[in-house]
A and B are shown apart, each in its own frame.
Chain A
């Protein structure tokens, strides 16, 4: 096990963790307004496919990212129409969105399966230029990676330091009282879902445009569900979400280290480590999370007649 291999593992953990963190941040915003989106997996797939196709058509990865974000936002608005305006059950609508995402992304991306697209430029992490090129080549990141921690702080600031965020959280705690104090729960939830979709789209764009640079069906591989689990893990707090996705990425990295070090364990068993670790941490933290959940999470706001 060389230093190079370890650094390589850390680098790939950062790459795989970034898309997860964006998606988790988006889900935090949505759930703070009281809406669980189990269809995140489908949203990510559609965004990833749209991003690759647009980046491929225009040979411009930035337009691809923008398109992926918009696709995420639109998907979430569709979900919003079901659960906010039509007051449908959130879990069932979410799973329906997942199937919709499976289908739509396959249709969008069908001419781009395996096709390579224009590369997103990468920059070296500042302060590392003195090191040998062999090592530093692993720490060249695209702007989406550099942006992810600031975005987490931005989401935190929006949720906890602005009037808009206060209103959003109020709707998530008790939509009736928020309505009584002059806010429009339906409109706020649409805004929250749209922002969540933009963030999910950024995550998906990072996965398909910056990281794998191609489209394959079902490429998100359950990231959407992991993000939903990480939201609970992070107690619906954007900064703790950073810790959550770091832990998950670290588990992925650890698994890669074990594989590289030639220890004879099946890669399939190692693949289960991140999920089991998340589960164990959830169990260890136990009931303390109950109070931190938005009180009307998953409830339909029927309006006041």
Chain B
């Protein structure tokens, strides 16, 4: 599995081809919509009405738009949790597990330190969430650095373990008086404050702040340079005196910490409690978004926004068209397929 770490070519967004590129992505999206429309037709639904529903429910009302942002924020953070390790050539498919462990530790904090005021409790919960995620990422990172087991496989196995630990804690110790599969509501001080009466909460600031920080560190600091050096050629980096092993472990933990922060913001912001199996694939979604955006900060924001529109609209399709919620994954996957397949709509000049 050692050769699996092939890094995709970086796209150059800011060239004269930008307009052409945007047009290309729009064509791809259109193609995905047409394909999904055919599937909808085959199942006896009205695709045009479905798309109008998606568009109406997400972009034409303030509330709908805020819901898109709510869905987008965890995607941006989990995508960053993948993008950062990918810069040193690590493939972090373990975001799902790291997210659960971050949420688990943060929930412990929220249920234990109920007396603390919000200004002390929230930073503590963030710290706990990051510790949880980082600890979970340390295992694959360390095993990879000492050359024992490939990080992909360790992460995948640990992804199956983490939700079970969360379920164990909830069912065994933390469940509320009325339910068995979730904790009691957190105290108000443990909730991330929301803006303007919507469900958009402080995690939006985390996401944007982390994006900016990621861009700055990668572009302007020594760490960013050394990380890119390791990602480009680990042998050369080692011979130049860069502590490659330490970087691998630390960067993997950093990715895990960010994934843990995503978990913390989900339980402390979105849900306000810890629910067994609360995430179905948001970690894997982060991987795809990061990959589609080539790990580029602005790209992560744009792709997350697009994917958030699709998933938020999918909620509504379930109500109006009687489709199973999972069906929206088809539209999502078709979009991904088309981007992955890189179709050529126009004859490009041969280089």
A residues with a Cβ closer than 8 A to B are 36, 38, 78, 81-82, 86, 88-93, 95-100, 102-107, 110, 217-218, 222, 225-226, 228-229, 232, 266, 268-269, 271-272, 275-276, 278-279, 282-283, 286-287, 290, 293, 295-300
Contact = CB atoms under 8 A, between A and B. Distances in A.
Contact of B340 (A82, A290, A293, A298): A82
B330 A104 contact: yes
Contacts of B2: 290, 293
The 10 tightest CB contacts between A and B, nearest first, are A103-B329, A100-B333, A106-B326, A103-B330, A298-B4, A268-B168, A96-B336, A88-B340, A86-B341, A106-B324
B1 A232 contact: yes
A86 B340 contact: yes
A86 B43 CA distance: 29
Interface in B43-99: 43, 91, 93
A95 B106 CA distance: 28
B1 A229 contact: no
A298 B167 contact: no
B3 to A, nearest CB: 6
Interface in B239-296: 280-281, 284-285, 287-288, 291-292
Contacts of B31: none
Contacts of B280: 218
B164 A228 contact: no
Given A92-B292, A228-B156, A36 B324 contact: no
B153 interface: yes
B148 interface: yes
B308 interface: no
B284 A276 contact: no
Contact of B342 (A88, A107, A266): A88
A293 B152 CA distance: 14
11 contacts: A86-B340, A88-B341, A102-B329, A103-B328, A106-B326, A107-B43, A268-B167, A282-B154, A283-B149, A293-B2, A298-B4
B284 A95 contact: yes
Interface in B1-52: 1-4, 6, 8, 39, 43
A81 B342 CA distance: 12
A47 B2 CA distance: 31
Contact of A266 (B156, B168, B336): B168
Interface in B323-351: 323-334, 336-337, 340-342
Interface residues of B, number: 55
Contacts of A266: 168, 171-172
The SS class assigned to the A binding surface is helix
Contacts of A99: 281, 284-285, 288, 329, 332-333, 336
B3 A269 contact: no
Given A91-B291, A103-B328, A268-B165, 6 more contacts: A78-B337, A93-B337, A93-B340, A266-B172, A295-B3, A298-B3
A23 to B, nearest CB: 14
A107 B8 CA distance: 33
Contact of A225 (B159, B288, B330): B159
Contact of B291 (A92, A102, A287, A295): A92
Contact of A100 (B8, B292, B337): B337
A92 B324 contact: no
B213 interface: no
Interface of B: 1-4, 6, 8, 39, 43, 91, 93, 143, 147-150, 152-154, 156-161, 164-165, 167-168, 171-172, 280-281, 284-285, 287-288, 291-292, 323-334, 336-337, 340-342
A91 B336 contact: no
A78 to B, nearest CB: 8
Nearest to A113: B324
A295 B288 CA distance: 25
B341 A82 contact: yes
Given A107-B43, A226-B160, A287-B148, A272 B165 contact: yes
Contacts of A283: 143, 148-149
B107 to A, nearest CB: 15
Contact of B330 (A86, A107, A229, A272): A107
A91 B340 contact: no
B165 A95 contact: no
Contacts of B325: 106
B222 to A, nearest CB: 29
Contact of B333 (A96, A276, A290): A96
A293 B3 CA distance: 9
B4 A36 contact: yes
A281 to B, nearest CB: 10
A80 to B, nearest CB: 12
Given A104-B330, A283-B143, A272 B164 contact: yes
A79 B75 CA distance: 24
Given A99-B329, A268-B164, A89 B340 contact: yes
Contact of A269 (B154, B164, B334): B164
B13 to A, nearest CB: 19
B154 A279 contact: yes
A96 to B, nearest CB: 4
B281 to A, nearest CB: 7
B327 A106 contact: yes
Nearest to A104: B330
